Amino acid sequence: MKNKKVLSKRMTYVVMIAPALILFILFNTIPLITGAFYSFTNYKGYGSFEFVGLRNYIDLFSDARVGNSYLFTFKYAIIGTLLVNVLSLLLALGLNSKIKFKSALRAVYFLPNVLGGLVVGYIFSFIFTYIIPAIASALHINFLENSILAGEDTAWIGVLIVGVWQAVAMNTIIYISGLQTIPADIYEAGMIDGVTPWQKFRHLTLPMLMPFVTTNLILSTKNMLMVFDQIMALTKGGPAQSTESISYLIYKNGMDGGQFGFQSANAVVFFIVIVAISIFQMVITNKKEEQL
């Protein structure tokens, strides 16, 4: 009975966060530390191993395959983030205006997010391999007659299309909720001043929406950098290793091939890169946020 009294307000909070904290440490922090530990070994994922010092890290910077995976991932993430945010902002503006079937349309545009990445990937894989080339050859569009997934220079575009198509859904929802937080009176004030639609967007909507842009940029950059499902379903890193993302390479060679130690080092570096990018984005975009 005494204990009940002891459970003060502060205690309640501790109890509330404890399960989440334990799970987080168990499934996130401990694996992270173990991974970092293995990055200094030549561990294959099983059996015995030796410490190799910094060899994995040195190799990492001279490995052409790792280098290419970074190039691909960043190319993908930068273009992908831009496309996703522009498209989802446009969609959000549309879906937030006074149109018919607004709720139904919102649900439809959210659908890609509900579908699993692999399912979507396999469907698109079929479309790219069979349907588009068939249409293209019927219409004599030369450059589309071959599956774009089969070309070294074009396969990444296929992956990008699927990735963006899926990512737009979540960002649109976040932008819609952002648009709804903007009080109507500032628009009224704007109308009295006689703003054009562009001015209204540029000087009223966008500054008020900035916190959401920050969130969306960080979320989509992170998601785009971690691209995995789409590659698994569409190209498996091919053709000619042109679409190997960092996560895919870590999984493929760390789990499937016997490079657990080396790919752990890759994962550690990648973790640092993602944290650095997130902090950088937060600092930059925070400056642009407006408060009423």
Partner 1 sequence: MRKSRVVISLLTAAAISVSTLLSGCSADSGKDGVTTVTMLQYKPEAVKAFEKIEKLFNETHDDIQLKIESPNEAMTVLKTRLIREDYPDIVGIGGDMNYSNFLDADLFEDISDIEVIGEIKPAYLKMEKELELLPKEGTYALPYVSNAAGILYIKEMFDENGWEIPETWSDFIALCDEIKKTGTDLLYLGYKDTWTCLAPWNALAVGLAPSDVCSSVNAGKTTFAAEYSEVAEKIKVLLDYAEPNPYAYSYNDACTAFARGQSAMFPIGSYAVPQILSVNPDMNIDSFTFPANDKEEDNVLNSGIDLHFSVMKGTKNKEAVYEVLRFLFKDETVQIYLDEQGGVPCKEGDFELPDFLSGMEQYIKNDRMSDFHDHHYPSEMSVDAMIQTYLMDKSNNSAQIFLERFDKEWTRYNRDLIARVKKYEEGQK
Question: Where does this chain bind partner 1 (CB under 8 A)?
Answer: 3, 6-8, 11, 14-15, 18-19, 22-23, 26, 42, 44-48, 59, 65, 129, 133, 146-147, 149-152, 235-241, 253, 255-260
* Of 13 and 280, CB closest to partner 1: 13
* Of 185 and 256, CB closest to partner 1: 256
Least Å distance between CB 156 and partner 1? 14
* Of 18 and 107, CB closest to partner 1: 18
* Of 110 and 251, CB closest to partner 1: 251
Least Å distance between CB 150 and partner 1? 4
- Closest of 93, 95, 99, 100 to residue 110, by C-alpha: 95
Least Å distance between CB 292 and partner 1? 41
* CB contact set of 86 (below 8 Å; sequence gap of 6+): none
* Of 48 and 97, CB closest to partner 1: 48
Residue 5 and residue 55: Cα distance in Å, rounded?
57
* Of 236 and 288, CB closest to partner 1: 236
Residue 125 and residue 105: Cα distance in Å, rounded?
26
**Which two structure tokens, joined as six digits, stand for 162?**
């699927």
Q: How far is CA 43 from CA 38, 61, 257, 261, 263, in A?
A: 7, 19, 11, 5, 10
Chain center to CA of 135: 31
- Closest of 69, 59, 46 to residue 245, by C-alpha: 69
Least Å distance between CB 54 and partner 1? 16
* Of 32 and 186, CB closest to partner 1: 32
Residue 166 and residue 161: Cα distance in Å, rounded?
9
Least Å distance between CB 48 and partner 1? 6
Residue 139 and residue 131: Cα distance in Å, rounded?
12
Least Å distance between CB 223 and partner 1? 23
- Specify whether the backbone of 140 is left (phi greater than 0), alpha (psi in -120 to 50) or beta: left
Least Å distance between CB 12 and partner 1? 11
**Which two structure tokens, joined as six digits, stand for 137?**
């050859």
